[in-house]
Amino acid sequence: MGSVIAGRLSAAGHRVALTARGAEQLADVAGKLPGPSLCLPADATDPAAVRTVFSTVEQTWGPVEVLVLNAGAAVSKPIAKLTDDEWLGQLDLNLTAPFRAMRRAIPAMTERGWGRIIVIASTAGRVGEPNVAAYTASKHGVIGLVRAAAAELARTGVTVNAVCPGYVDTPMTDGWVERISDRTGKPPQHIRAALERKQPINRLITAAEVADVVDLCVASAAITGQAINVDGGAVQS
């Protein structure tokens, strides 16, 4: 999803700073962008690394105008088997890391009177899902953060929204399928088909369909404080 969103922003004329843990992966994405880019390898859960990413972008191009918070991961376990480290790790990556990035970006955005913050959340932030309690809690939490930030910034020219995909055809979903298959003994193709059936359109969402909503959130000054589902109608709200 991150690479597709980056491509959309680049094609729209934005200079795009890419960050993730893998330098090789970043270079591969940057090589496909039509416009200027920066590759800034960093761990989103490391506060010092996040500060360095922002400082580098600001020194190179100026303040961040569009912030897309896409880093995330899921742990799939029953509640009774979740460790403290797994619980805290999910909150750190899916909730605290977006908070830190927002906190760093907001002052410059409000000073300029324009900014867009988009968090890639999940439909797990809208409903309860079994065996992903830590992930679900973290995504519910980040949607609450989005709503509070949007209310706080409503008169500043800065919008804050969450995009909530269902099951998307990405490597993360591939890994989820493998883990469920290992735990249950069911063939991966059966697991994937079951995930497809969870969505009324009977297929996985594409990364491009998620990027469509990011485009909308960037373009509109009137959409803020929203958690927009991209799930083929699975969660109607």
Record the tokens describing residue 224, joined without a space.
């803020």
The residues carrying an active-site annotation are: 135
pLDDT digits (tens, 9 = 90+) for 110-151: 999 999 999 999 999 999 989 999 999 999 999 999 999 999
Tokens of 97: 């890391």
Six-digit token string for 126: 């809208």
pLDDT at 179: 83
Give yes or no: residues 173 and 94 share one domain: no
Residue 58 resides in a domain: yes
Does residue 235 fall inside a structural domain?
no
CATH number (domain holding residue 83): 3.40.50.720
Residue 186: its pLDDT value, please?
Answer: 93
131, 76 in Cβ contact below 8 A?
Answer: yes
pLDDT given for residue 140 in this prediction: 98
**pLDDT value at residue 217:** 98
Report residue 83: phi and psi, to 5°: -90, 165
- Are 37 and 153 within one domain? yes
Task: Tell me whether residue 142 is in a domain.
Answer: yes
Q: How many CB atoms lie within 10 A of CB 29?
A: 20
- At 45 the pLDDT is 97
pLDDT of residue 211: 98
**103 and 190: one domain?**
no
What per-residue confidence (pLDDT) applies to 83? 98
- The reply to whether 87 falls in a domain is yes
Query: Do 111 and 174 fall into the same domain?
Result: no
The total domain count for the chain is 2
51 and 153 fall within a common domain: yes
Which pTM value belongs to this model? 0.95
H runs (alpha helix) in the chain: 2-11, 23-30, 47-60, 84-91, 97-112, 133-153, 171-184, 188-197, 207-219
Judgement on whether residues 161 and 172 belong to the same structural domain of the protein: no
Q: Tell me the average confidence (pLDDT) per consecutive run of 10 residues in the chain, 237 residues long.
A: 97 98 96 98 97 98 98 92 98 98 98 98 95 96 98 98 96 86 91 94 97 98 98 93
User: Does 236 fall in a domain?
Assistant: no
| Cα(235)–Cα(211) distance, integer angstroms | 19
**Domain span at 105:** 2-165+208-230
pLDDT in tens, 99-120: 999 999 999 999 999 999 999 9
- 138 CB-near residues (< 8 Å, 6+ apart): 90, 91, 93, 94, 95
pLDDT of residue 212: 98
In sequence order, which residues have a C-beta less than 8 Å from that of residue 31 and are 6 or more positions away? none
132 shares a domain with 23? yes
Shared-domain flag, residues 104 and 40: yes
Domain assignment present for 129 = yes
Same domain? For 111 and 184 the reply is: no
225/161 Cα distance (integer angstroms) = 5
The verdict on residue 99 lying in a domain is yes
- 189 and 131 share a domain? no
- Quote the pLDDT of residue 6: 98
Six-digit token pair at 232?
Answer: 């083929």
Task: Report whether 55 contacts 63 (CB < 8 A).
Answer: no
Same domain, residue pair 77 and 52: yes
Judge if 180 and 83 occupy the same domain.
no
